Amino acid sequence: MQLILNYSINQTETQLVQLSEKYANQVTDLDDSENLQLLEHLTEMTDTSAVILDQEGTKLLQTNWQEDLTDKTLTSNEIMQLKRGETIVKEFTSNGSTYLKVAQPIINQNGTNGSVVLFSSFGLISNSIHNIIFLVILASLGAVVLAIGFTFFISKKLGAPPLIEMEKVAKQIAEKKNFSLRVDYKANDEIGSLAHAINHLSETLERYQTNRNEFFSNITHELKTPLTYVKGYANAVRHEMYQNKEEKDEFLEIIENETDHISDLMDDLMDLSKIEEGKIDLNKEDININKLAEEMLKRSQFRASEKGLTMHLNQPENTVYLFADKSRLDQVLTNLVENAVRYTEKGKITLTVQEERKDVIIRVEDTGIGIKQEDIPYLFERFYRVDKSRSRANGGTGLGLSIVKNLVEMHDGSIQVESEIDKGTAITLRFPTEEEKQYNALSR
């Protein structure tokens, strides 16, 4: 405000000085009536008040006069200054309004003749300044309102429905284990991808929960069946419900077999859970695969011949080596050969060892009952059995192949099943050699 006021005072001062100088220069004869017209004209145009005084300071004429100015014309000191030919510039207040006074001597050939005094009021300027202040205050208020509105909008966007809903859903998932909940919010921004992540998390947890529930109900079922047998036959033996000693031995043998079955199931489950949690370490070494296959053949020959099956081994002249965990690889082959014997009634079982380019291939083939194409994708799931009653009668629980798959994958291998109903099944394992793995890692 001060700045604007100072500026306008300076401007007005310059203007008044110029104006009074011009007038004083033009007017020499104070009695000329044209002087009055000129003065009136000038004061109207510049919105100033003017008075012309004679040498003694007596008022000769005035234009555009305001009452406030009556006793403000000139002091005797100022009249003296004018007589000396000096210009007077003075600022004063009267009745609350600020004025600028400029007095200029009128000089003719004989010396100082009189003077012209111009007055200009700053009332208008201070009005404008007040208007400006009013506008500034209004604009500040507007800015504050806008800022509040914007903050409100942002906090609503961040705090409102989607985020609050997400918080609720996350709490329900964590506290109530309600994994079927989803956040219903789709957008291509950060909040949208957060919603997507929460939904993905609850889907994964839901799947995990279903799997776990199925797993427990399967285990319970698997344990219940043999226990029912054990209990039933133990009861029969205790109450001597057998005809003769042979029948008693038969009952006891069933009890023995069923407890073996439970024990096998426990071992398999322990294995599977350790493998799936990544808790087993592989003790890898160079294994002579030809030798491993020969041992396998010898071990299963007895069970095969019991069922009237023949066992064959196909392997190359040279020795095939694979860098692997011997006992785990043995476990894989045992499971596959056991399946082949278990699900084959007549014919033969062939074990093949091959080297194909840089892969080591081990194949177990049988001439058994075969597997329907639609069942093949599920074979490696825990507890999956194609024919439950038949498999159980053979002592199977459906864990073997899922253990096999996990172990093969831990060795970076792959597994492939080909089968035809009543013709037989071939399961092929393919392991990359270390050399090949290094090559793949380098070329990646």
Ligand X SMILES: Nc1ncnc2c1ncn2[C@@H]1O[C@H](COP(=O)(O)OP(=O)(O)OP(=O)(O)O)[C@@H](O)[C@H]1O
- Provide the binding-site residues for Mg ion, judged by CB under 5 A: 339, 400
Which of ligand X, Mg ion, none sits in contact with 333, Cβ below 5 to 8 A by type?
A: none
Residues making up the chain, counted from first to last:
444
Q: How far is it, in rounded angstroms, from Cα 280 to Cα 412?
A: 15
Number of residues that bind ligand X (CB under 6 A): 23
Minimum distance from residue 221 beta carbon to Mg ion (Å): 17
Residue type, 115: S
Minimum distance from residue 342 beta carbon to Mg ion (Å): 7
Minimum distance from residue 419 beta carbon to ligand X (Å): 7
First-to-final CA distance of the chain: 74
Which of Mg ion, ligand X, none sits in contact with 368, Cβ below 5 to 8 A by type?
A: ligand X
Q: Which residues are paired to 351 by β-bridges? A: 313, 364
Cα three-residue angle 39-43-46, rounded to 5 degrees: 140
Interaction residues for ligand X, span 341-360 (CB under 6 A): 343
Q: Among 369, 408, 415, 429, indicate the residue that binds ligand X (CB under 6 A).
A: 369
- DSSP state string for 307-328: TT-EEEEE--SSPPEEEEEHHH
Q: Which is nearer to ligand X, 68 or 338 (CB)?
A: 338
Minimum distance from residue 177 beta carbon to ligand X (Å): 31
Show the site string, 383-422: x = touches ligand X by CB under 6 A, - = not. Answer: -xxxx---x----xxxxxx---------------------
Give yes or no for residue 333 binding ligand X (CB under 6 A). Answer: no
Relative to beta strand 88-94, strand 97-108 is antiparallel
Piece of 19-27, 232-240, 337-345, 354-362 that binds ligand X (CB under 6 A):
337-345
Minimum distance from residue 385 beta carbon to ligand X (Å): 3
**409 φ, ψ to 5°?**
-65, -30
Identify the CA nearest to 407 among candidates 218, 254, 276: 276
Minimum distance from residue 322 beta carbon to ligand X (Å): 22
Q: Which is nearer to ligand X, 79 or 269 (CB)?
A: 269
Q: How far is CA 244 from CA 233, 237, 250, 274, in A?
A: 14, 11, 10, 46
Q: In the chain, how many H helices and how many E strands? A: 12, 12
Give yes or no for residue 271 binding ligand X (CB under 6 A). Answer: no
Q: How far is it, in rounded angstroms, from Cα 187 to Cα 22?
A: 76
Identify the CA nearest to 356 among candidates 287, 432, 426: 432
Piece of 59-67, 86-94, 306-314, 362-370 that binds ligand X (CB under 6 A):
362-370
Q: Which is nearer to ligand X, 202 or 425 (CB)?
A: 425
Q: Are 119 and 101 in contact (CB under 8 A)?
A: yes
Q: Which is nearer to Mg ion, 232 or 395 (CB)?
A: 395
Which of Mg ion, ligand X, none sits in contact with 343, Cβ below 5 to 8 A by type?
A: ligand X
In the complex, which residue's CB is closest to Mg ion? Answer: 400
Relative to beta strand 284-288, strand 111-121 is unpaired
Where on the phi/psi map is residue 118: left (φ > 0), alpha (ψ -120 to 50), or beta? beta
Q: Which is nearer to ligand X, 8 or 391 (CB)?
A: 391
Minimum distance from residue 358 beta carbon to ligand X (Å): 28
Contact set with ligand X (CB under 6 A): 268, 335, 339-340, 343, 366, 368-371, 379, 384-387, 391, 396-401, 425
